[in-house]
Amino acid sequence: MDKIQFNRLMCIENIGFTSPQRDTISQIWLNFCSNSGIMSIEEINRKHYFKTDMYYRVGYGLSSRLLAFRNGIIYLQVVIGRKWDKDYHATTLELAHCWRAEHEELQQALGCKVFIIDANKYPYKQDLLQLKIQVNYDARMGMLFSSNVLN
């Protein structure tokens, strides 16, 4: 059961809990998730940002974040900046393996779906992303981690 399902089950917003009660229930749920091995997408993104993504951002102008992990598939959003010179296929391969290797929660993944925003070709997209405005993806790439499958 994920956080959304729990919130629906408890109907926190609809049964008259006050804000402190909602905060307490949310904190209990987050503690449960941490202790039971249920992954938090936000927590994984935070760890990745400080552990690996900062290197790619500063050195190559490339950033990535985890959107979801469902049915053994990692879903990533990648923003390509001006310094990155690899094509979409190489980018997908590198970042998919990077995410899988760096995070123990994702090591059992079967594949990865990468949604690419190319701010190198379309510089205005970087500005829109900083303003938290959703932009269209320039490419959607997928790969399987199985060694006997040609990607």
Q: How far is Cα 99 from Cα 91, in angstroms, rounded to an integer? A: 12
Backbone angles phi, psi at 63, to 5 degrees: -130, 155
Give pLDDT, residue 141: 95
| Mean pLDDT of successive 10-residue stretches along the chain, which has 151 residues | 48 50 57 56 94 91 94 95 91 95 92 95 90 93 82 57
Q: Which residue, among 77, 145, 139, 148, has the nearest Cα to 111 in the 3D structure?
A: 145
> Tokens at residue 82, please?
């001006």
Pairwise CA distance, residues 59 & 72, whole Å: 30
- Structure confidence at residue 146 (pLDDT): 84
CB 78 within 8 A of CB 94: no
Q: Which of 62, 41, 40 is nearest to 53 (CA)?
A: 62
Angstrom distances, CA of residue 142 to CA of 39, 115, 118, 135: 22, 9, 16, 20
Residue 4's pLDDT is what?
Answer: 52
Instruction: Please report the pLDDT score of residue 14 as a whole number.
Output: 41
What residues does each domain of the chain span? 3-36, 41-144
- Determine the pLDDT at residue 11: 42
